[in-house]
């Protein structure tokens, strides 16, 4: 069953490839290939042009995008290992050293422990160069003819990638990856024992320097490739400054190692010249092999006890005729005869010192190669120091550029305030605002930064920054996610210093403000009514400018007037929702018209709370006044009734029926004033009740009969 399915799938792929090839040959003049295929035979993949390869072709899965995260990480790794390799290669110059004995001195061609350590480190670095070649064969490139618009089209064909790479950078990468110094140190020099130390050092130096050029060259294209992919080589300014300083240290390392090797060569040159002069005199002959530590056992004792070669080449003796020039200091201090770490750091310091001073402290002899070396130090130091200072200044200035811009802006602000003769109070308020804004944003214009981003990315960033803070506002916690996303997208940051008036009573309301941190004072006088004042404190989670929401639901031409005065008691951080943005949200999301949401809004609105408190207070006062009037009326009526009843009981025996009716008329006449007073008091109470409600009820638009919950 499964085999039949595989055969069917293969047949379908074969038919698709045949049709693609047929269309390709129909458009071109190529010879039909499908005609030579026997019935039932699958179409070979090689017969299909590369542009028609299937999308699931396994080769495409092995090709890397030069802008992918994997290649960016690999480029950083290779750049780091390349810089380390540039430090390792000059260490081969320290393999030779001079051994000073009691009678004779000689040149030791190889330090076996150092040779093994340097070889291991160098071989590890070579592995990364080989991996770099492998990645180059598997890295796509952008077709030059597709760069008319946008990034361009990636070429994923392995054959085209290999063909392009072999024509451009392959041989440079191969030359950098070859283990040439290892071959020279382990095979060439030990096999050529007849060569003197001077020739061995010259051969090794040439091999290392020749291969050092392509390795140094690869650093700069790699840096440019990283810059094209990410924009910068390093993420931070301090790392960029350290990177440029590291390049300067690499040059100092090479110059110091070359100085060490040339010092040994200069000492060997002196010995050879004096040895040749000594051969013409009487006594035991001087042989060049005697200067090699490998042949120290073959030295003639008679020559060793009588020779003056080493005395005439003693750099510490100023009376000798041989001029060591710039190498005399290294020979005098014994830097070429000590252990590795001492001679390495001495040479590194010498290179760094002379590159920094352009070789001004060097006293050269008339030897041509020595003079050329001094000229190279002066030119290289001038170029590298200018490059180092320029780049480090750029990187270090990028750290403080915002601070410098803020300082200049603050200075201009102070000059403007002094020129306009602003009072000291206003100056202090302006200074506090500028200072607080710097601490909050560090000089970054967040609005313009977000405005340059795509809409979807800007929405996600605003959601990340604002959603958790917005949900702290109880009014927003009742909203669903789409409405919250729309609001978060349009919220802007608002910073207010102590004493700042957000809005004044009677002014147009231009934005709703949602407090995140700090305290605000919200007060009202109900339009300046005498004897009326209400004040509350707004904290994190509260909002002001709620008149704008009623305006947004049923927008009119004019903005609503503020019913309260809002002032910052301390530094306040908040989100502001502008009038046009709130109008857009209200028009696009019918959820904002929900009765439940509007009731929630009225519950948390300070204007509605103040009106409700005043309404309840007025109702309670009316009720208490009504109760007090009824109680006083009932007490007066009961006292009159008691007096009449007492009078009636006293005169009951002598009263006639006519007197009884007269008594009822008197009682009715007595009740009329009470009724009149009661009605008068009720009328007065109704008239006073008009002014009891001190605050007008806020405008309540029609939320329709439908509930959008």
- Cβ neighbours of 685 (radius 10 Å): 14
Query: Is the per-residue pLDDT at 37 higher than 50?
Result: no
- Compute the distance between CA of residue 36 and CA of residue 336 in angstroms, rounded to an integer: 76
**Chain Cα centroid distance, residue 162:** 36
Report DSSP state, residue 624: H
Full 3-state SS string of 492-549: EEEEECCCCEEECCCCECCEEEEEEECCEEEEECCCCCCCCCEEEEECCCCEECCHHH
| Segment 146-175, tens digit of pLDDT | 766 656 788 888 888 899 999 988 999 999
Mean pLDDT of the chain: 76
Residue percentage of the chain with pLDDT more than 70? 72
**Tokens 């009014």 belong to which residue?**
475
Which tokens in the block code for residue 390? Answer: 């320029």
Query: Is the per-residue pLDDT at 222 higher than 80?
Result: yes
Overall average pLDDT of the 629-656 stretch: 61
- Compute the distance between CA of residue 627 and CA of residue 611 in angstroms, rounded to an integer: 24
**Tokens 């095979």 belong to which residue?**
187
- Compute the distance between CA of residue 315 and CA of residue 169 in angstroms, rounded to an integer: 48
- Give the residue from 482, 460, 707, 709 showing the smallest Cα distance to 589: 482
**Residue 506 backbone class (left: φ over 0; alpha: ψ -120 to 50; beta: rest):** left
**Chain Cα centroid distance, residue 464:** 16
Instruction: Give the model's confidence band at 42: pLDDT under 50 very low, under 70 low, under 90 confident, else very high.
Output: very low
Contact between residue 309 and residue 275 where contact means Cβ atoms under 8 Å apart = yes
DSSP H helices in 28-66: 58-61
**Tokens 């001029």 belong to which residue?**
323
| Confidence (pLDDT) at 636 | 67
Residue 318 half-sphere exposure toward CB, CA atoms < 13 A: 1
Of the ranges 46-60, 177-191, 565-579, which one carries the lowest mean pLDDT score? 46-60
| Segment 188-219, tens digit of pLDDT | 887 776 667 778 888 888 899 899 999 999 98
- Cβ neighbours of 291 (radius 10 Å): 25
Which tokens in the block code for residue 53? Answer: 């390869």
Instruction: Give the model's confidence band at 388: pLDDT under 50 very low, under 70 low, under 90 confident, else very high.
Output: confident
Overall average pLDDT of the 450-460 stretch: 78
| Confidence (pLDDT) at 642 | 63
Please tell me whether residue 572 adopts helix, strand or coil conformation.
Answer: strand
- Compute the distance between CA of residue 396 and CA of residue 589 in angstroms, rounded to an integer: 49
| Segment 64-78, tens digit of pLDDT | 888 788 888 899 899
Instruction: Let me know if 689 is exposed, middle or buried by CB neighbors in 10 A (0-12, 13-18, 19+).
Output: middle
Instruction: Give the model's confidence band at 480: pLDDT under 50 very low, under 70 low, under 90 confident, else very high.
Output: confident
- Compute the distance between CA of residue 520 and CA of residue 499 in angstroms, rounded to an integer: 9
Within 8 A by CB and 6+ apart from 628, the residues are none
| Confidence (pLDDT) at 402 | 72
Within 8 A by CB and 6+ apart from 543, the residues are 473, 475, 512, 513, 514, 515, 604
Which tokens in the block code for residue 21? Answer: 């090839």
Cα–Cα–Cα angle for 205, 249, 181, nearest 5°? 25
Report DSSP state, residue 148: T
Instruction: Let me know if 487 is exposed, middle or buried by CB neighbors in 10 A (0-12, 13-18, 19+).
Output: buried
Instruction: Give the model's confidence band at 12: pLDDT under 50 very low, under 70 low, under 90 confident, else very high.
Output: very low
Consecutive H or E run containing 688: helix 657-692
| Confidence (pLDDT) at 38 | 45
Consecutive H or E run containing 107: strand 105-108
| Confidence (pLDDT) at 147 | 65
Of the ranges 256-270, 322-336, 573-587, 637-651, which one carries the lowest mean pLDDT score? 637-651
Within 8 A by CB and 6+ apart from 536, the residues are 521, 522, 523, 606, 610
Instruction: Give the model's confidence band at 92: pLDDT under 50 very low, under 70 low, under 90 confident, else very high.
Output: very high
Query: Is the per-residue pLDDT at 26 higher than 90?
Result: no
Contact between residue 328 and residue 365 where contact means Cβ atoms under 8 Å apart = no
Instruction: Let me know if 371 is exposed, middle or buried by CB neighbors in 10 A (0-12, 13-18, 19+).
Output: middle
Between residues 247 and 40, which one has the greater pLDDT?
Answer: 247
Of the ranges 185-189, 582-586, 700-704, which one carries the lowest mean pLDDT score? 700-704
Residue 15, phi then psi, degrees to nearest 5: -65, -40
pTM above 0.85, yes or no: no
| Confidence (pLDDT) at 652 | 53
- Compute the distance between CA of residue 213 and CA of residue 22 in angstroms, rounded to an integer: 52
**Residue 78 backbone class (left: φ over 0; alpha: ψ -120 to 50; beta: rest):** alpha
| Segment 501-552, tens digit of pLDDT | 888 988 888 888 888 888 999 888 876 666 677 788 888 878 788 778 778 7
Instruction: Give the model's confidence band at 6: pLDDT under 50 very low, under 70 low, under 90 confident, else very high.
Output: very low
Consecutive H or E run containing 86: helix 69-88
- Compute the distance between CA of residue 10 and CA of residue 26 in angstroms, rounded to an integer: 24
Residue 703, phi then psi, degrees to nearest 5: -90, 15
Report DSSP state, residue 327: G
Overall average pLDDT of the 428-444 stretch: 75
Between residues 608 and 130, which one has the greater pLDDT?
Answer: 130
**Tokens 């000291």 belong to which residue?**
424
- Give the residue from 319, 314, 356, 306 showing the smallest Cα distance to 331: 314
| Confidence (pLDDT) at 570 | 87
Between residues 93 and 32, which one has the greater pLDDT?
Answer: 93
């Amino acid at each position: 069953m499964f085999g039949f399915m595989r055969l069917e799938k293969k047949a379908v792929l074969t038919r698709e490839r045949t049709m693609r090839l047929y269309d390709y040959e129909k458009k071109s003049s190529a010879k039909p290939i499908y005609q030579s295929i026997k019935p039932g035979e699958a179409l070979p993949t090689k017969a299909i042009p590369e542009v028609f390869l299937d999308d699931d072709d396994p080769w495409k899965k092995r090709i890397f995008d030069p802008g992918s995260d994997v290649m960016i990480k690999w480029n950083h790794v290779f750049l780091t290992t390349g810089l380390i390799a540039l430090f390792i290669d000059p260490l081969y110059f320290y393999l030779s050293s001079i051994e000073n004995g009691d009678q004779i001195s000689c040149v030791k061609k190889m330090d076996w422990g150092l040779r093994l350590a340097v070889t291991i480190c160098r071989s590890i670095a070579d592995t990364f160069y080989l991996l770099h070649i492998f990645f180059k064969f598997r890295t796509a490139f952008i077709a030059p003819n597709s760069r008319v618009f946008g990034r361009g089209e990636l070429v994923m064909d392995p054959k085209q990638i290999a063909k392009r790479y072999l024509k451009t950078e392959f041989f440079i990468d191969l030359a950098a990856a070859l283990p040439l110094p290892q071959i020279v140190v382990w095979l060439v020099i030990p096999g050529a024992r007849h060569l003197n130390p001077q020739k061995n050092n010259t051969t090794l130096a040439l091999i290392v320097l020749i291969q050092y050029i392509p390795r140094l060259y690869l650093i700069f294209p790699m840096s440019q490739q990283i810059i094209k992919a990410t924009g910068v080589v390093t993420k931070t300014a301090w790392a960029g400054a350290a990177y440029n300083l590291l390049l300067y240290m690499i040059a100092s390392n090479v110059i110091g190692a070359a100085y060490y090797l040339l010092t040994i060569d200069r000492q060997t040159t002196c010995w050879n010249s004096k040895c040749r002069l000594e051969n013409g005199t009487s006594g035991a002959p001087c042989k060049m092999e005697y200067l090699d530590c490998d042949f120290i056992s073959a030295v003639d004792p008679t020559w060793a006890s009588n020779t003056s070669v080493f005395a005439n080449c003693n750099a510490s003796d100023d009376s000798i005729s041989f001029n060591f020039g710039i190498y005399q200091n290294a020979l005098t201090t014994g830097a070429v005869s000590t252990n590795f770490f001492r001679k390495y750091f001495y040479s590194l310091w010498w290179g760094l010192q002379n590159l920094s001073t352009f070789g001004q402290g060097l006293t050269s002899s008339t030897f041509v190669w020595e003079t050329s070396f001094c000229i190279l130090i002066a030119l290289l130091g001038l170029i590298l120091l200018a490059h180092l200072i320029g780049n480090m200044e750029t990187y270090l200035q990028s750290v403080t550029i915002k601070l410098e811009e803020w300082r200049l802006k603050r200075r201009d602000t102070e000059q403007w305030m002094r020129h306009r003769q602003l009072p000291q109070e206003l100056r202090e308020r302006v200074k506090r605002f500028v200072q607080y804004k710097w601490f909050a944003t560090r000089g970054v214009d967040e609005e313009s930064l977000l405005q340059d981003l795509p809409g979807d990315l800007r929405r996600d960033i605003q959601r990340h920054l604002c959603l958790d803070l917005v949900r702290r506002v109880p009014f927003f916690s009742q909203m669903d996610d789409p409405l919250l996303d729309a609001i978060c997208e349009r919220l802007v940051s608002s910073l207010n210093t102590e004493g700042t008036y957000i809005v004044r009573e009677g002014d147009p309301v231009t934005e709703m403000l949602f407090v995140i941190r700090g305290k605000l004072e919200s007060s009202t006088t109900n339009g300046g009514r005498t004897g009326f004042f209400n004040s509350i404190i707004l904290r994190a989670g509260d909002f002001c400018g709620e008149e704008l929401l009623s305006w947004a639901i049923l927008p009119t031409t004019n903005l609503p007037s503020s019913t309260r005065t809002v002032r910052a008691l301390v530094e306040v951080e908040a989100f502001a929702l502008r009038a046009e943005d709130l109008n857009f949200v209200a028009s696009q999301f019918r959820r904002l018209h929900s009765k439940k949401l509007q009731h929630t809004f009225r519950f948390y609105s300070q204007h509605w709370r103040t009106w409700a408190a005043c309404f309840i207070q007025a109702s309670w006062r009316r009720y208490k006044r009504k109760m007090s009037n009824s109680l006083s009326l009932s007490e007066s009526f009961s006292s009159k009734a008691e007096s009449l009843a007492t009078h009636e009981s006293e005169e009951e025996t002598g009263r006639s029926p006519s007197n009884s009716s007269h008594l009822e008329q008197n009682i009715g006449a007595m009740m009329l004033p009470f009724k009149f007073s009661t009605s008068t008091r009720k009328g007065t109470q109704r008239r006073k009740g008009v002014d009891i409600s001190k605050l007008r009820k806020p405008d309540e638009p029609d939320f329709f009969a439908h509930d959008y919950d």
